[in-house]
Amino acid sequence: MVQLLEDFPAHVAAYAASGAVSKEEYRDVVMRRVDEVAEKFGHINFLVKLETDMGNYSIGAFLEYLKVSFEHFFKWERMAIVSDERWVRIAYRTLSPLVHGEIRAYPLSGFDMAKAWVSGQPDTNG
């Protein structure tokens, strides 16, 4: 299940994932919000709070994630991944130099730090 996190500035697309995540749910909730932020601001700050194992993402949800990532490739500004799965944090930190924008990874106990960082204003000079 995915749920948008509401207590964020308008230029941030933030959601929490728990339990199973379907393609339709990811498309209808997450992608819709990402598209709204991209259209309105031209840059996207993004936070994912993973309270589920990545194995609970359906292959369709994962493909939707890849699709939205490439559709907005040059619009990503700040991406915070919040998860207690160490391998997920390492994987995203490893990917950071390869993508536009900056990715930071936090354990669930660091959610407030992740929220503060991702809530910063996008760099509109680049």
pLDDT of residue 10: 94
Q: Which residue has the higher pLDDT, 76 or 49?
A: 49
Q: 24 in a domain, yes or no?
A: yes
Which CATH number do you get for residue 78? 3.40.50
Q: 105 in a domain, yes or no?
A: yes
Q: 54 in a domain, yes or no?
A: yes
Q: Of 3-7, 39-43, 77-81, 94-98, which gets the smallest average pLDDT?
A: 94-98
pLDDT of residue 75: 77
**Range of the structural domain that residue 78 is part of:** 2-118
Q: What domain count does the chain have? A: 1
Q: 49 in a domain, yes or no?
A: yes
Q: 25 in a domain, yes or no?
A: yes
Mean pLDDT, the chain, whole residue set: 79
Both tokens assigned to 70: 């490439």
Q: Of 2-6, 33-37, 51-55, which gets the smallest average pLDDT?
A: 51-55
Both tokens assigned to 112: 């407030």
pLDDT digits (tens, 9 = 90+) for 65-114: 656 665 656 677 888 989 888 766 777 677 666 667 888 889 999 999 99
The Cα-based distances of 32 to 29, 45, 65, 68 in angstroms read 6, 14, 12, 10
Do 23 and 58 contact (CB within 8 A), yes or no? yes
Quick one: DSSP state of residue 28?
I
Q: 11 in a domain, yes or no?
A: yes
Q: 58 in a domain, yes or no?
A: yes
Phi, psi of 124 (to 5 degrees): -95, 10
